[in-house]
Structure 1
Amino acid sequence: RLTKFDSPSEGRSNEELETTIRQVIDQALVSEQVIDVFDAAGIKKPDISILSDEFLAELKDYEHKNIALEVMKKLLNDELKARAKTNLVQSKTLLEMLENALKRYQNKILTAAEVMDELIGISKDIVAADSEASEMGLSEYEYAFYTAVANNDSARELMQQDKLRELAVVLTQKIRENATIDWAIKENVRAKLKVIVKRLLRQYGYPPDMQLLATETVLKQAEMIASELTR
């Protein structure tokens, strides 16, 4: 619960608190370190998930919209940084959504309350993606490959979720069997993996006009998590 979110802490004004939070976020973006925005601003961190409906509702209803927005931006920034290490397509899509929403806010197309709604929507998309992976029975890495091959309309329409899921599981298995920690700099290993990926895409009936792009996306995803797959 946001037990200390009802008033500025330590006697600071709203302006001082907002400035503190902005400085924390700026520092985090420059240093790429995960910094606890609640601790830095003197706000008690909630005991519940930062992406839970309860917390998001409380943040949305917080009286000082600009402060709530800065907190939400920092939380999403940290979340996307973490996801960028494992899921290429998902993190890229969510980051583009975040940047687009903030740009419209900066250009005064959206109010603080409106952009807050959009950021909450992004948070709910994250939760929905996690739920989808769980419902499909996919591991974190299998789901990453699923998003890589399901990243176009024609594939989703032609193959449907079950077949794309099966393809993702097999891709994960084959890449795990054939990848090495330094495979990204070994052209022969990369070439072998490319052949394997292309063959599997054809085997599972992936749309021919999208196979080249899907192959490159899958290889980039594999390169991102190669060290984990080869453990």
Structure 2
Amino acid sequence: YALCASTGAMNPYRDDIAYFEAVRVWMAKWDAEERAARGLPVPADVELVLRQLTAGAIEAGGVTDLYEAAGIPRPDLSHLDEAFLKKMQEARNPHLAIEALRRLIDQEMRKVTKHNIVRQQSFADRLLELMRKYTNQNLSAAEVIAEMVRMAKEVSADARRGQQFDPPLSEDELAFYDAVAQNESAVTEMGDGKLADIARDLVKALRRNVTIDWVSRDDVRAKLRSTIKRLLAIHEYPPDAQPEAIQLVLKQMETFAEEWSPRQDDR
């Protein structure tokens, strides 16, 4: 469009182009507001640059690459080495480099922990605390980049964590393992292997008892609660930790509601 704006052939498309340009600007604005609502910092210079990049993307002839604008290569979380860390720390705009890496970690974290509320909350809290320290100047730009690269590697490795068990835990089983392993006394008393067995049994039992509308039906939720309680008791899960574990397992189960629904299985 930047090359052809003056030609009359573009007249039929100008309104559409203006519309999408306006949408893009507002999306950038709402993204900044969402960050502020979550307590994440939105430095004035970063917000200004992001808005300028967003508003000017159409004039540049396409979507602006945030990583290129920050002077860093687009990273792959599974292959972050010392060379990449050095490039990040020497970027011509470290604030923008930090924002780019934060967004990448957040996106990858949500993808890797899609059904795992325990790990997702843990990573989100750590990322938030890291950005707070940077905002409060407790960490320099180079230090926060180094910490974020370490965290990025951990997020990438989390997708393979289930392979550490024997037999390996599936993504579903790993999510419920993390739910019952939240209690430190349970981990100490039972060990990882026993908790992994509980997770496997939970997935099998809960999937058998799921109905299409289980989330909104109190009677079905009560049955599921009884099933969870019985399984924990069979495996001798610490009685004092059971109420919290039951609540967390039910909350975890809600993330699978759509995928586990019989309606989905019939398709």
TM-score range, shorter chain: 0.7 to 0.9
Please, which moves more after superposition, 132-141 or 182-191? Answer: 132-141
Q: Answer with 1 or 2: which has the greater Rg.
A: 2
Structure 1: how far apart are the matches of 2:64 and 2:186?
45
Superposed displacement of residue 82, structure 1 = 2.7
Q: Which residue of the partner structure matches residue 108 of structure 2?
A: 79
Inter-CA distance 104–42: structure 2 relative to 1 (3 Å threshold): closer
Q: Which residue of the partner structure matches residue 17 of structure 1?
A: none
TM-score of the pair, normalised by structure 1:
0.78
Inter-CA distance 167–220: structure 2 relative to 1 (3 Å threshold): same
CA contact under 8 A between 2:80 and 2:153: conserved in structure 1?
A: no
Structure 1: how far apart are the matches of 2:27 and 2:82?
23
Superposed displacement of residue 207, structure 1 = 1.5
Superposed displacement of residue 83, structure 1 = 4.2
Q: Which residue of the partner structure matches residue 80 of structure 2?
A: 55
Q: Which residue of the partner structure matches residue 207 of structure 2?
A: 176
2:240 maps to 1:209: yes
Q: Which residue of the partner structure matches residue 146 of structure 1?
A: 177
Superposed displacement of residue 30, structure 1 = 5.8
CA contact under 8 A between 1:84 and 1:92: conserved in structure 2?
A: no
CA contact under 8 A between 2:180 and 2:195: conserved in structure 1?
A: yes
Residue among 206, 214, 231 paired with 1:200: 231
2:189 maps to 1:163: no
Alpha-carbon displacement from aligned partner over 1:178-228 (angstroms, at most 9, x marks no partner): 012321101111000000101111111111111111100000000111211
Superposed displacement of residue 29, structure 1 = 6.0
The count of aligned residue pairs is 202
Please, which moves more after superposition, 132-141 or 143-152? Answer: 132-141
CA contact under 8 A between 1:39 and 1:45: conserved in structure 2?
A: no
Q: Which residue of the partner structure matches residue 7 of structure 1?
A: none
Q: Which runs of 5+ in 1 are unaligned?
A: 1-22
Alpha-carbon displacement from aligned partner over 1:106-147 (angstroms, at most 9, x marks no partner): 111111111122222222322333232123211111111111
2:254 maps to 1:223: yes
Superposed displacement of residue 25, structure 1 = 7.1
Q: Which residue of the partner structure matches residue 120 of structure 1?
A: 149
Structure 2: how far apart are the matches of 1:217 and 1:110?
34
Greater relative contact order structure (CA < 8 Å, 6+ sep): 1
> Between the two proteins, what is the percent identity of the paired residues?
33
CA contact under 8 A between 1:105 and 1:112: conserved in structure 2?
A: yes
Alpha-carbon displacement from aligned partner over 1:33-79 (angstroms, at most 9, x marks no partner): xxxx9953373974xx7212x33534421112333212110101212
Structure 2: how far apart are the matches of 1:126 and 1:42?
20
Inter-CA distance 29–167: structure 2 relative to 1 (3 Å threshold): farther
Q: Which residue of the partner structure matches residue 58 of structure 2?
A: none
Q: Which residue of the partner structure matches residue 132 of structure 1?
A: 161
RMSD: 2.7
